[in-house]
Amino acid sequence: MEPILAPESIDLVSIAPVLVLTVFAMGVMVLDLFAGKSKTLLAFVSIVGLLMTAISAFAKVGLPVFSFNDSYTVDHLSVCFILIFTLSSALAILISIDYNDRENIKAGEFYSLVLFCTVGMIVLASSTDLIMIFLGIEIVSICLYVLAGIRRNHLKSNEAALKYFLLGAFATGFLLYGMALMYGATGTTNLISIADLIKSDGVKSEPLLMIGAVLLLIGFGFKVASVPFHMWAPDVYQGAPSPVTAFMAVGPKAAALVAFFRVFAETLPEISFFWETLLVTISILTMFIGNLGAIMQTNIKRLLAYSSVSHVGYILMAVLVKNTLGSASLIFYMVTYAFMIFGVFAIIIMLGRKGDENLEIEGYSGLGFKHPVIALCMTVFMLSLGGLPPLAGFVAKFYIFNAALQEGFLMLVIIAVLNSAISLYYYLKVIVYMYMKEPVREFQLSITPITLFVVALAIIGTIQLGIFPDPILSLAQQ
């Protein structure tokens, strides 16, 4: 009987965030048994867990640290993204407390699944191994399939879950096929070894590597909802419960994007001549179809779904930049995007009531006269999403465009600026409805302190990051 050799580089401290959050996620499940009917306690326990995770992200000093045979990395990018994930998950849990009460979602599993999903995102952001990336994506996706369909007796929710599941499983096939081909071409699943091998011309069968890269591009394209793989986004965003929609639009998307960045910008820059054109095309298509699709929408959640597709188009430019400037602008964009999206969705949740979510944009008519403060907040978020100075959305776009300009993507930047202008049309449409139309219905707002707190936090974030972006920017650029 020979002993099993432990991996040479076992380093449990480096995976501290994953461990802490997994323990909390399972703890929430157990606590669910004793929590009784109200699940609010679980929400607060989850938030404590997320807070501890955020703290444990700083457990390692002297970055970057590689552990578990270089398959797990703690570097600046992963630490920043762990903070973004914990922030977005905490905000999602906060806005879901009242929503779940109202919509009768009495499941402690909801919070547990959000935490597990965050575990998957952390794995995605920190791993430098194709196997780990695959497992991370699957953990995130399975949680989201369930969360999207958690309103069992809601037809749209059922539709969302089923569509998301079928298309997600299909996309996983591409991802796995691409990874297998890449493994065949290089003989390793480790991203660092793959990068070294390509640099030293050690790859014998380049076509295999390239087909693998294309399939990975398709797989990631599905997960981040870039055109032409965006078909699921509007239906899923519309059908999923509003807090889950907000959660999906920020955390998991950011996680898939950072994995995208790690695979393409950090591992395959040597063969960028080949995937760069593809990615530029995808980015341009994503911006145009996202923005043009959003113009036609009458449902606010579908509008935001298309708008988030177009935002992916801008963010993909950060992957194209391929250097630390790209990763820094990616981090900054996702922070600001988190604040804007959660602010908007907190307001959407406030405007709904039991059995009637009030999601048509027409239902927002006259909000500006009846509830001026809330309408003003909505206006700020919409203008920020559209990228108007001095709000955070402008600074985020400015840094991505600037980074792309420095790498010589002049045409792409011009198209992106043009698209920002197009996008203002539908963001302003919401504002026009709020301030310039007569109310078509009674407003019965369900304002609660927690939701108000989220809106206030999002407003502060949006304005603060717009006027004084330096602290976060310098943190992102280290």
Partner 1 sequence: MFEITYEVVVFVLGITAVLAAFGVILCASPIYCALYLIGNMICLALLFLLFNAEFIAAVQIIVYAGAVMILFLFIIALLGGKKEISEPSVQRSSAFTFVILLFCELLLAAAVKPTHPITGDMAPDVVNAIGSAKAVGIELFSRHLVPFELASILLLIATIGIICLAKFSYLPARRRLK
The dihedral over CA atoms of 85, 91, 97, 99, expressed in degrees to the nearest 10, equals -100
Contact criterion met (CB below 8 Å) for 335 and 88:
no
Per DSSP, which regions of 251-330 are E strands? Answer: none
Q: Both tokens of residue 257?
A: 């994007």
Nearer to partner 1, 107 or 445 (CB): 107
Tokens 């792409």 -> residue: 412
Site membership for partner 1, residue 232 (CB under 8 A): no
Q: Both tokens of residue 230?
A: 């965006």
Site membership for partner 1, residue 59 (CB under 8 A): no
Cβ at position 413, least distance to partner 1 in Å: 33
Give the side-chain half-sphere CA count within 13 A for 152: 5
Give the interface segment with partner 1, choosing from 80-88, 93-101, 183-191, 467-475 (CB under 8 A): 183-191
Residue 468: CB atoms within 10 A of its CB come to 11
Give the side-chain half-sphere CA count within 13 A for 303: 25
Site membership for partner 1, residue 65 (CB under 8 A): no
Nearer to partner 1, 215 or 465 (CB): 215
Give the side-chain half-sphere CA count within 13 A for 470: 1
Contacts of 471 (CB under 8 A, 6+ apart): none
Site membership for partner 1, residue 298 (CB under 8 A): no
Of 295, 454, 280, 294, nearest in space to 374 by CA: 454
Cβ at position 208, least distance to partner 1 in Å: 5
Binding residue (CB under 8 A) for partner 1 from 145, 232, 237, 261: 145
Nearer to partner 1, 152 or 441 (CB): 152
Site membership for partner 1, residue 89 (CB under 8 A): no
d(CA 420, CA 459): 21
Site membership for partner 1, residue 187 (CB under 8 A): yes
Site membership for partner 1, residue 228 (CB under 8 A): no
Per DSSP, 36 falls in state -
Cβ at position 132, least distance to partner 1 in Å: 6
Q: Both tokens of residue 8?
A: 């040479």
Contact criterion met (CB below 8 Å) for 294 and 307:
yes
Site membership for partner 1, residue 7 (CB under 8 A): yes
Q: Both tokens of residue 231?
A: 């078909």
Residue numbers 19-38 binding partner 1 by CB under 8 A:
22, 26, 29
Binding residue (CB under 8 A) for partner 1 from 35, 63, 142, 162: 142
Site membership for partner 1, residue 116 (CB under 8 A): yes
Residues in binding contact with partner 1, number by CB under 8 A: 53
Residue numbers 451-470 binding partner 1 by CB under 8 A:
none
Ordered alpha helix ranges (H), 187-241:
191-199, 206-224, 232-239
Binding residue (CB under 8 A) for partner 1 from 35, 135, 162, 195: 135
Contact criterion met (CB below 8 Å) for 178 and 212:
yes
Site membership for partner 1, residue 270 (CB under 8 A): no
Site membership for partner 1, residue 42 (CB under 8 A): no
Task: Report the interface residues with partner 1, using CB under 8 A.
Answer: 2, 4-7, 10, 15, 22, 26, 29, 68-69, 71-72, 107, 109-110, 112-113, 116, 119, 123, 129, 131-132, 135-136, 138-139, 142-143, 145-146, 149-150, 152-153, 155, 158, 181, 184-188, 197, 202-205, 207-208, 211
